[in-house]
Amino acid sequence: MPVYNAEHYLNESINSILNQSYTDFEFVIVNDGSTDRSADVIKAYTDPRIRFIENQQNMGLIASLNIGLETCIGEYIVRMDQDDYSLPQRIEKQVRFMDENPEHGLIGCWFEDFGENIESKVVRYSSNDTHIRIRHLYQTHIAHPTAVLRKSVIDEYNLRFNPEFVHGEDYAFWVQMSAYCKLSNYPEMLVRKRDHPRNISNKYAQTQQDTCAKVKQKQFEAMGLTISREEIELYTRFANPDWTFSKEEMEMMHALLEKMASENERSNFIPKEALKMYLAEKWFHLCLQNRRIGKTGWSWWNRLSFKNAYASPLKSKIKMQALSLGISV
C-alpha cells in the first residue's frame, strides 16, 4: 500500500487488511513523504505483520509502487490503495484462485464504486483472459486496488511500473504482464473502491487520458498496426460504445476494423476468431443504432469482410433491413 497524505481514510483501509480471513502475510506500507498525520496513523499499529517503509521525500506513486515490488517477499503481491476497503475474504479467495491456476499471473475482482457524491454501483469485469485482452485495447479491465500479482512472473521478467505512463501505470503494467501470463478477475465483489475529488482519475483526468492513449498505441503496434491518435480515440468511442458516428467516421472505422482483423491474423496478438467476433458484433450494433447514417445501416453492415464472425440475432437483422427500406419498427 503506497500512502501519501491519506489520514482521512487510512485507518479504514489498513483495518480492512489486518482483519482478513487469510492471515499469513506481510503488510508493506510505503509512506511517500506525507506531510499530514499519515505516518503517525501507521506507526500507531502494533501488528507485527506491518512492514513500514518511509521515503525521506515525496518520490511519487510509481517510485513507491516499485519500492513495494522490490520489498515484498511473498509468493503473491496483493495491491491495496490508501482510501479503499477490502472485504474480509478478499485475499483468501484471490489467493486460492492463484494457487489453483498457476498459468495466471494477475487477477483482479469485481468492486463497488462508491463515494459521497456518486450512486454506488458494482463493476463486474470479465474473468475471461481473452475478453480482458480485447477490452485492454480501449481501457484497463483490472482495477488497480483489486489486483493480486504472482511475484515469480515479476521477478523472472524484471517487470516494474514505468514512469513513462504516469497516471496510467497500472494499465501499462497489466498489458506488459499479459505477454507472460494469463489474466482474470474473481467474479465476486471483494473491494470497495472510493471515489472522491482527490482520486488521480479526477485530479489528473487529461494526463491520464493521454497516458492511456499511449498504452493503447503500444498494443496496436504489438498487433502490427500503426495507428494515429485520431484512430485511437475513434476506436475507444466505438468500443465503449458510442452510436453517433458520422459517415466520414464510419468510413474511417470500417477501414480500421479491416486493418485490425488483417494484422491480428498475422500476429495473433489476440486470439483471431475471438477478436473478429467482438469487432463484428460491435460493428453490427453501430450499423443498427446509428441514426446519423439514415437508411444505410444494412449497407454498412454488409461492407465488413468478416461480418459472419458474429451470428447476429434474426430479429435485429430484420429490424436493420426494415430500416433500410424506410419501414419503422
* Distance between start and end Cα atoms, the chain: 54
At residue 202, the pLDDT reads 60
* Domain-embedded: residue 217: no
**Count of structural domains within the chain:** 2
Same domain, 45 and 167: yes
Same domain, 286 and 170: no
* Domain-embedded: residue 279: yes
Same domain, 233 and 203: no
Alpha-carbon distance of 149 to 128, in angstroms, equals: 17
At residue 223, the pLDDT reads 97
How do residues 233-263 score in pLDDT, each as one tens digit?
999 999 999 999 999 999 999 999 999 999 9
Same domain, 50 and 194: yes
Write the DSSP assignment of 227-275 as a string of letters: --HHHHHHHHHHHTT-----HHHHHHHHHHHHHHHHHHHHH-SS-HHHH
Q: Are strands 182-195 and 104-115 parallel, antiparallel or unpaired?
A: parallel
How do residues 63-83 score in pLDDT, each as one tens digit?
999 999 999 999 999 999 999
Same domain, 99 and 27: yes
Share of the chain above pLDDT 90, in %: 92
- Residue 167 DSSP label: T
- Please compute the mean of the pLDDT values over residues 174-182 and round it to a whole number: 98
Residue with cell 488483417: 262
Same domain, 32 and 134: yes
Task: Name beta bridge partners: 108.
Answer: 185
Same domain, 273 and 303: yes
At residue 48, the pLDDT reads 97
Identify the domain containing residue 182 by its residue range. Answer: 2-207
- Is the distance from CB of 212 to CB of 171 less than 8 angstroms? yes
* Domain-embedded: residue 298: yes
At residue 326, the pLDDT reads 85
How do residues 87-142 score in pLDDT, each as one tens digit?
999 999 999 999 999 999 999 999 999 998 889 999 999 999 999 999 999 999 99
